[in-house]
Structures are given as structure tokens and as C-alpha cells.
Amino acid sequence: MPRIAIWGAGGIGGFFGGRLAASGCEVGFIARGAHLEAIRRDGLRVESVDGDFTATPSIATDDPAEIGPVDVVILGVKTWHLPEVMAGLGPLLGSDTAVVTTQNGVEAPGEVAAEVGESRVLPGIAKVFTEVAGPGVIRHAGGPGSLAFAEWDGSTSARVKDLRATLAHAGVALEEPEDIWLALWIKFLFVVPLGGVGAVAQAPVGVVRSMPSTRALLTAGMREVRDIGRARGIGFPDEIVESTLGFVDQQPPAGLSSLQRDIAAGRPSELEAWSGAVHRLGQEAGVETPVNTFAYSVLLPREQRARGQLDF
């Protein structure tokens, strides 16, 4: 089994890292604060719709040097933590260490590759609804609980096969898309307009999808992402907006995106990597993005207040 480091023991890293540790894999968690202390003391508790369990990692620390070089690093942090992570990643990197990105958005693999090289990065997609329920506790509310990843060029290397086998042994569902970049953009098209419109409307998915006005905004926002992706060479199928709306219609009506939860709670969010990225990438591609740009502009003051950049 590969030796694995999980940077960020929150919803994503805690869930997948917990499953790996519980299966007997050698896993080191990088965490901090009360969450780290609880994991050290009691292990990591995962309360899951698929059955609760407690995992004991090989090591839990706030210092990656205590873990040392590993075969795989899974980045479970949110996008705005990536600069901090990249600054401290060195002690975990061996000659062939793979770094798996799981962040929402489409820019994270490039940000990581700019620091460690494309040859190390396995662009990845996590599909699961999780959150930190308290120190040392992860709550898994649903979703497929799946991971998808591949080499930068989309190929399936020996190390990709080994990691997939290890995750499968741990009970993690795996997806193997033919085009990892298309899969990243498909998730981007789903989460960003829904999160942006939902956050502006301060309404759950059931309201956003059912009111004609907000559904029209949602549809237009998805078309903006589709057009940007196509301008960048992403092969979206013709029916991608319609099929994604159908997927939205299948979600629990009370559902809220992580962006909505963070903004509502006054916490820093992934706004820059979601609506902000659509705004920037649209400008670069010459694609107009009125819906996503409006959401970004309206939510930005609250984002800057959460980061201490504005006081009101």
C-alpha cells in the first residue's frame, strides 16, 4: 500500500483519509488547532450515512516534516488555503510523490503544478457532502462519496492504478472519467452557478430550481461556464446544460452549497475560485458572463468582510 499524507482533515480530507486509515493504510494527517488535538487524543470520528466509524491515523501533526516523504499527498483544503500549503509541501515530496487535488473549481491543478510541476499532479474530483461537525468529528451527509483522478495528460499510470486499488480496498467509490479535464469542468458548471445564485438569493436548491426567475439565472449561468469551457477547448456535450439542470432537480431541496454556508456564517469562502474564476476566465476568453459576474460582485463585499479587508 502507498504511504499517504492528507493535508487538511476537514470534510474532504477527513472523510477520505479516515476511510484509508480505518482500512489499515499508513496515513498521516496534517491538521491544526482543536481539531488536531481531538484527532491525536481520540482518533478521527466519521459519522456517515453509510455507517459511523473511528479511524486512528499513523500520525496527526501540524508539521509536515514529522511525516516526511510519502507516495501520495491528497490535498483536502479549500482553494484559498493552497498558497499556504504549497509553501510547506516540500518535506512530503519524494522523487515520485503524486499530489492529488480535490478542490472545487478548475484552477487548482494549475496552481499546484506551478509549484511542483505537472508530472506530480493528479487532477482530482471529490463528490461527497461532508463537514466538520466538531473537533475530531466529520459528518458525512450523503452523496456518492467518490473520488476521480488521473495523470495530467489524462492517462492511467501505475501509480494511479495503485492508488485506485488502495482506495477501493478502503471502501471509497471511484469514478474513472475518460477525460478528467472535462469532468472537472462539468462539476464546475454544476456547483458555481448554483452556489452563486443560491448565495445571492439566500435560498436552498429547492427554491433556486423551482422559481422561474432564479431557474432562468441558473440556466444562463451554466451557459456562461459552458461557453468559457468550449473557448478553452473543453468538449462539453451539446446537452450539458439540460442534463446538469436535471441533476440539480435530483438534489435534496434543503441543500446548500459550501459557498452558501460559508458566506452565511461570515467565514472566508471559495468565491474567488467559483464565481470569481468565471468572471476572470470569461474576460480572458472574450465570453460575457453577466450572471456569474453579478453574483461575484454582489457577494464580494461580504467575502472581503469575512477576510478582514472591509469593516461594515
* pLDDT tens digits along 211-226: 999 999 999 999 999 9
Per-residue pLDDT tens for 106-145?
A: 999 999 999 999 999 999 999 988 889 999 999 998 878 8
Among candidates 272, 276, 154, 292, which has minimal Cα distance to 227?
292
Does residue 227 surpass a pLDDT of 90? yes
Q: For each of the domains in the chain, give its residue range(s) and CATH number, in order of start.
A: 4-176 (3.40.50.720), 181-306 (1.10.1040.10)
- Cell numbers linked to 284: 480572458
What does 148-192 look like in DSSP terms, one character per residue? EE--TTS---HHHHHHHHHHHHTT-EE---S-HHHHHHHHHHHHH
Per-residue pLDDT tens for 45-70?
A: 999 989 999 999 999 999 999 999 99
Q: How buried is residue 293: exposed, middle or buried, by Cβ count under 10 Å (0-12/13-18/19+)?
A: buried
Largest CA distance in the chain: 54
Which neighbouring-strand residues pair with 21? none
Tell me which residue has cell 459550501. 258
Per-residue pLDDT tens for 245-301?
A: 999 999 889 988 999 999 999 999 999 999 999 999 999 999 999 999 999 999 999
What pLDDT, on the 0 to 100 scale, is given for residue 191?
A: 96
Q: Are 271 and 303 in contact, with CB atoms under 8 Å apart?
A: yes
Q: Provide the 3-class DSSP secondary structure of residue 121.
A: strand
Compute the half-sphere exposure of residue 167: CA atoms within 13 Å on the CB side of its CA: 24
DSSP 8-state secondary structure symbol assigned to residue 235 = -
Q: Provide the 3-class DSSP secondary structure of residue 132.
A: strand
Among candidates 224, 229, 205, which has minimal Cα distance to 215?
205
- Cell numbers linked to 10: 476537514
Chain length of the chain = 312
Please give the single-letter amino acid code of residue 251.
Q
What pLDDT, on the 0 to 100 scale, is given for residue 1?
A: 84
Per-residue pLDDT tens for 135-176?
A: 999 999 887 889 999 999 999 999 999 999 999 999 999 999
Please give the single-letter amino acid code of residue 137.
V
Quote the Cα angle for 72-75-78, to 5°.
175
